[in-house]
Structure 1
Amino acid sequence: MQVQELVSAAQKTNIDLFVELSSAFTDNMNKLADLNLEAARTLLSTTREFSQQALATHEPSEWLTLQNAFMVPAAGQVQDYNRRLLDLAASVQATYVRCSQAQAQACSTQARAALQDFAKRVPQGSEPIVAALDSAIGAAHQLYGSLQQTGQQAVEVARTQVDLAANAAARSAKRGIDPVAQATKS
């Protein structure tokens, strides 16, 4: 391949990558805005209901029961929001990984093509240098693959930790509510 062909192919690949990432960014920002609007609407609706019922209570025990009745659903709503937000982040990360893997593969292919073109023009006895460069390109590609895999594992660990924390918070809220509910019934 000629250098001009390599440059042209790289430019086309970069433009395609830019368009795909820009489109994914825009779509995910819209999804995030929708998620936040939905969360705000839910919060306002829940707050309005709680306020109306709180104003209608006359006894402190009724107010405590009412407050506790809203805590468990609120914890569930927060947990749902966090899961949906994490799913959105995972979607963005998957798009980035797919694009970056394609870019790394294209760079590796182009580097190897340039190296082969270079190998045709070097003097006799330069084969070890060409082999070393080819090996370095292969090693860099493998390193990039390993880093991508590590990044994906980190995202999965983060997702697991958020799920565990949200579940623990929901259980804790429910445990805190149950004794109060029993005490107010007595």
Structure 2
Amino acid sequence: MLTVEQIAAAQQAQLNTLFGFGAKAVESAEKVIELNLQASKALLADSAEYTKSLLSAKDAQEFLKVQTGFVQPLAEKSAAYGRHLYDIAAGANAEFTQAAEAQTASAQKQFASAVEAAVKNVPQGGEAAVAALKNAMTGANSAFEQVQKVVKQATEVAESNFKAVTATATKAAKAK
């Protein structure tokens, strides 16, 4: 059985993890806010420059040239903004995932310890029940590991697809 100290330690570890998640969420929000401020400043400066250029155009041909010259850099900056935003989200997700995996591993160890302690007190003849419980634990752990692998693979595929779409969009913007 778990002792009061073990339960208190487990609760303390869970609280530390929870506060760590909160701190990481706030840190990520700060990064997004900073990115948005930088993007807003750059857009304001670019818009002012663009407007000045449009107003100083001498004829229709120069006017069209200014318009065309504004679209490509804007598309490239939008793609860069998207990549940066994705990097912030991916970084936070990686840290959350790592912390969750560590917490899960710790919980599994505690559960296994509790089962082992309970097994020591099983009356004679209960060996079959103990073996069934151990098999169930092994199966559950294997299933959990498989789910983790599938989620990681899906995340990697999504990341790869996002990068490919971003690269294609950037190339398309440059071609225009």
User: TM-score, structure 2 length as denominator?
Assistant: 0.91
The letter of the residue matching 1:124 is Q
In the TM superposition, residue 156 of structure 1 has moved relative to its aligned partner by 2.2
Deviations 1:131-156 (A, max 9, x none): 22222223222322222232222222
In the TM superposition, residue 108 of structure 1 has moved relative to its aligned partner by 0.7
Unaligned runs of 5+ in 2: none
Evaluate the alpha carbon distance shift between residue 8 and residue 71 of structure 1 in structure 2; reply closer, same or farther with a 3 A threshold.
same
Distance 1:145 1:127 in 2: 27
Instruction: Give the aligned partner of residue 88 of structure 2.
Output: 88
Evaluate the alpha carbon distance shift between residue 29 and residue 68 of structure 1 in structure 2; reply closer, same or farther with a 3 A threshold.
same
Evaluate the alpha carbon distance shift between residue 60 and residue 162 of structure 1 in structure 2; reply closer, same or farther with a 3 A threshold.
farther
The question of whether the paired residues in 1 share the 8 Å contact of 2:79 and 2:166 is answered with yes
The letter of the residue matching 1:11 is Q
The question of whether the paired residues in 1 share the 8 Å contact of 2:76 and 2:173 is answered with no
Instruction: Give the aligned partner of residue 154 of structure 1.
Output: 154
Unaligned runs of 5+ in 1: 177-186
Distance 1:52 1:132 in 2: 78
Distance 2:147 2:97 in 1: 11
The letter of the residue matching 2:161 is Q
In the TM superposition, residue 173 of structure 1 has moved relative to its aligned partner by 2.3
Please provide the CA RMSD for this pair: 1.7
Distance 1:69 1:106 in 2: 56
Greater CA drift, 57-66 or 140-149: 140-149
- Report SS of the residue matched to 2:125: coil
Which aligned runs of 4 or more in structure 1 are off by greater than 6 angstroms?
Answer: none
Instruction: Give the aligned partner of residue 181 of structure 1.
Output: none
Instruction: Give the aligned partner of residue 43 of structure 1.
Output: 43
Greater CA drift, 98-107 or 56-65: 56-65
Instruction: Give the aligned partner of residue 74 of structure 1.
Output: 74
Deviations 1:12-70 (A, max 9, x none): 22012112111111111111111111111111111111111011113222122111212
In the TM superposition, residue 112 of structure 1 has moved relative to its aligned partner by 0.6
Residues 1-186 of structure 1 mapped to structure 2, 5 A cutoff: 2-176=2-176
The letter of the residue matching 2:113 is A
Count of residue pairs brought into register by the alignment: 176
Distance 2:99 2:119 in 1: 30
Distance 2:13 2:141 in 1: 18
Distance 2:126 2:51 in 1: 81
